[in-house]
Amino acid sequence: MPSFLFYLFAAITLGFGLNVILARNPVTSALSLAVSFVGLAALFISLDAYFIGIIQILVYTGAVMVLFLFIIMLLDIQKEEAKRANTAAVIGGVVLAVVLTLQVAAVLGVFKEGAITTEQRALSMEIASKREDVAQVKTIQKDLAAGTLPDAKLMGMTLFEQYGFHLQAIGLLLLVGTVGVVVLSKRESPSKPVV
């Protein structure tokens, strides 16, 4: 990927991420976060993680942000008044963010193993098509032999062959989450005490 595209999407991700914090209107924050996540999805795709990039857009900007906007609408939250900014919290937050960023930059400055480009770690479909695990799935092997990266198929192979139990545990978690949301949102009858 050309360098300027990385800088563009990194700027979109961080710029709109900053706007989430700065905006006084919650709807502006939510929409900024959606744009920030689209930039992040572009960064994922630049790392050849096409499936994760699409999932990021579908789940985060599609489902999660709509849920956020729906709750903001439901609760009818007004703009915060500007005067009520807590000075100590603002200073603390800014210092925390700056120190953490500087710390990350300092660590990365001496992390020599990280100074590698994607060209130096190039993907090779030719080598990959000779892998043993790939050889068992004909459709993946065919795609690799044709020189394309079947990202979603490889993700599926990894998930269902190596992490089958985890996948089912996640399914159970989603079920429990759904039940929990219904229980939490149910309006208690006035006679019953609040749990």
Partner 1 sequence: MITLNHYLFVSGALFALGLAGVVVRRNIIIIFMCLEMMLSAANLALVGFSRFRVTDGLPDYAAQSLVFFTITVAAAEVAVGLAVIVALYRTRQSVEVDTITRMQG
Residues 78-137 close enough to bind partner 1 by CB under 8 A: 80, 84, 86, 89-90, 92-94, 96-98, 100-101, 104-105, 108, 111, 113-119, 121-128, 130-131, 134
Residue nearer to partner 1 on the CB measure, 136 or 158: 158
Site string for partner 1, 52-81 (x = CB under 8 A): x--xx--xx--xx--xx--xx-xx-x--x-
Distance CA 23, CA 133 (A): 49
By the rule CB under 8 A, 139 interacts with partner 1: no
CA distance 9 to 65: 19
Q: Which of 13, 35, 42, 143 binds partner 1 (CB under 8 A)?
A: 13
Residue 93 sits at φ, ψ, to 5 deg, of -65, -45
Which of 135, 142, 147, 177 binds partner 1 (CB under 8 A)? It is 177
- Site for partner 1 (CB under 8 A): how many residues? 91
Query: Are 123 and 103 within 8 A, CB to CB?
Result: no
To partner 1, the closest distance from the beta carbon of 104 in angstroms equals 3
- By CB under 8 A, tell whether 189 contacts partner 1: no
Q: Residue 176, Cα to own-chain centre: how many angstroms?
A: 22
Among 135, 136, 142, 166, binds partner 1 (CB under 8 A): 166
Classify residue 12 by burial, with Cβ atoms within 10 Å: 0-12, 13-18, 19+.
middle
CB 80 within 8 Å of CB 60: no
Asked if residues 57 and 41 have their Cβ atoms less than 8 Å apart, the reply is yes
Nearer to partner 1, 104 or 146 (CB): 104
